Amino acid sequence: MTLHLKKLCVGVETPEQLEAWMPQRLDRAERELGRRVLWHVTRQVPKRAPEILEGGSLYWVMNGRMRARQPIHDLREIRDSEGRRACVIELAPELIRVSATPHRPFQGWRYLQPEEAPADVGRADSDPAAEMPDWMVRELQDLGVL
């Protein structure tokens, strides 16, 4: 069964900000690794990596809402500069918007069951937020309309 991860996207408030940051990281990876990939390093290594690698994604929480996801290509254990275990989460270079879902802050990453994951924006036939600007979706959710 596929399993996902969720993580706070610290310092980023919107998917557009994250997308704006991605090209320079992709260029750096291409220069240094010879591949156009994105990665995120975290201190804890998921014990359920095989389930995550069966099609899981990293869901980003931005400004108190789960807003986007990136498919996970690989998970690798490494040692940081001080010899401590860490995990490289290799991500697809595409950012997929999801239905903005309120979420409380937390530290590190957490597992996310597929049935708890928000739907991709615009993929559901009846998604009223698919064409709305982010600020409008936020306000309508706060009012309980969406």
pLDDT per residue as tens, the chain (146 positions): 899 999 999 888 889 999 998 999 889 888 888 888 898 989 899 999 999 999 999 999 998 899 999 999 999 999 988 899 999 999 999 999 998 888 998 999 999 999 999 999 865 444 566 567 767 777 777 777 76
Please name which of 38, 34, 20 lies closest in space to residue 91, comparing C-alpha atoms.
38
Answer for the pair 75, 87: CB distance below 8 angstroms, yes or no.
yes
Radius of gyration of the chain (CA): 16
Domain boundaries, the chain: 4-142
Please name which of 77, 35, 70 lies closest in space to residue 56, comparing C-alpha atoms.
70
